[in-house]
């Protein structure tokens, strides 16, 4: 195979509930994640020199062994036991970096899926999911994408039973200079809310069941109006990060917005609309204020797939 293209979509959190703390130090979560049609592109070419080389047009993105693409490639090589496998990987970065949109995780998931095909490793879908979980909590979701409930650290997946991706329009904004460290956000959450964390598995399961049977999934299926979204990290990040406060206030001015929320640990923010045309109209309406405050903005659709070849 001469070269392979893989797309790596961004995700937003439509629900992020921190249930408690796990014995491994991570947080036990109940989330709904959704992929968008905003995606990075990976171009993979095989080499036989055993080297993994990554290049990207964004000079502020590390391309060394700390990048999840390189980690994914090294893990695949180690698992298949062929150290001579190499690849030259070009990353076309379109998802904002450090944004709570799983851009890095999605790139890593796309590398697992793409290199598995390029190198003919033959790992099964289940094996790729297991490797993804080893590399990052959000990474297994990014393999299949769509609309999924994510439990555990985020790696226990239950696809939502929807006939089609939600027909919502998404207006996504991020301040280019803002970033939030995920470990910091979870650490603050623990400091502020740790006393109220649940600890029994039966209590965790009750919350999972409430999400499975709750109004959010019915709303995403178009069967009822959307109620306000829940993101427990937003309550922690919003008071401390000015661009999150300002951006949420801006999005709330969009007349037709159904809901407004932060994604993941931030600082990306989004508003959902009944259809993509309403999201475009809101972007046009808010453009002067968004520009004045220095926000970048994207209008997106919800999609039904994760890392995709071709």
| Residues with active-site annotation | 11, 138
Q: How far apart are CA 84 and CA 87, in angstroms?
A: 10
CB 61 within 8 A of CB 67: yes
The site map against ligand C5P for 202-241 (x = CB under 6 A) is ----------------------------------------
Among 123, 186, 204, 270, the residue binding ligand C5P under the rule CB under 6 A is: 186
Task: Give, as ranges, the residues between 14 and 33 that touch ligand C5P (CB under 6 A).
Answer: 26-27, 29
Q: Which of 32, 30, 101, 34 is nearest to 269 (CA)?
A: 101
Q: How far is the CB of 182 from ligand C5P (least distance, A)?
A: 4
Under the binding rule (CB under 6 A), the answer on residue 98 touching ligand C5P is: no
Under the binding rule (CB under 6 A), the answer on residue 266 touching ligand C5P is: no
Under the binding rule (CB under 6 A), the answer on residue 154 touching ligand C5P is: yes
Report in angstroms the alpha-carbon separations of 141 from 30, 35, 216, 300: 13, 9, 19, 19
Q: What region, left, alpha or beta, does residue 146 occupy, with left being phi > 0 and alpha being psi -120 to 50 degrees?
A: left
Under the binding rule (CB under 6 A), the answer on residue 183 touching ligand C5P is: yes
Instruction: List, in sequence order, every residue forming a beta bridge with 159; answer none if it has no partner.
Output: 148
Q: How far is the CB of 108 from ligand C5P (least distance, A)?
A: 10
Residue 226 is classified by DSSP as: P
Nearer to ligand C5P, 75 or 118 (CB): 75
The site map against ligand C5P for 113-152 (x = CB under 6 A) is -----------------------xxx--------------
Residues 6+ away with beta carbon under 8 Å from 141: 11, 33, 102, 105, 148, 150, 154, 155, 157, 306
Under the binding rule (CB under 6 A), the answer on residue 41 touching ligand C5P is: no
Binding residues for ligand C5P, rule: CB under 6 A, are: 26-27, 29, 136-138, 153-154, 182-183, 186
């Amino acid at each position: 195979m001469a070269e392979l293209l893989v797309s790596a979509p961004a995700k937003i959190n439509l629900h992020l509930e921190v249930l408690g703390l796990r014995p491994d130090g991570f947080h036990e979560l109940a989330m709904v994640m959704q992929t968008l049609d905003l995606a990075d592109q990976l171009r993979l070419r095989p080499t036989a020199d055993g080297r993994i080389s990554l290049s990207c047009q964004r000079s502020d993105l590390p391309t060394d062994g700390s990048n999840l693409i390189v980690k994914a490639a090294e893990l695949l090589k180690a698992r298949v036991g062929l150290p001579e496998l190499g690849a030259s990987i070009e990353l076309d970065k379109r998802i904002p970096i450090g944004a709570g949109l799983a851009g890095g995780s999605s790139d890593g998931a796309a590398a697992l899926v793409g290199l598995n095909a390029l190198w003919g490793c033959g790992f099964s879908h289940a094996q790729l999911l297991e490797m993804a979980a080893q590399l990052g909590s959000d990474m297994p979701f990014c393999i299949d994408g769509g609309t999924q409930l994510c439990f555990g650290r985020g790696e226990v997946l239950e696809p939502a039973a929807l006939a089609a991706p939600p027909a919502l329009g998404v207006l996504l904004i991020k301040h280019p200079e803002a970033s939030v460290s995920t470990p910091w956000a979870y650490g603050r959450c623990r400091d502020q809310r740790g006393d109220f964390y649940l600890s029994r598995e039966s209590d965790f399961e009750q919350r999972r069941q409430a999400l499975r049977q709750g109004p959010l999934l019915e709303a995403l299926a178009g069967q009822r109006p959307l109620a306000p979204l829940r993101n427990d990290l937003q309550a922690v990040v919003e008071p401390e990060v000015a661009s999150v406060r300002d951006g949420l206030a801006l999005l709330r001015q969009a007349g037709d917005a159904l809901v407004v929320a932060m994604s993941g640990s931030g600082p990306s923010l989004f508003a959902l609309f009944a259809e993509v045309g309403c999201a475009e109209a809101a972007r046009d309406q808010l453009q002067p204020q968004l520009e004045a405050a220095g926000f970048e903005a994207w209008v997106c659709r919800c999609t039904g797939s994760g890392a995709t070849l071709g």
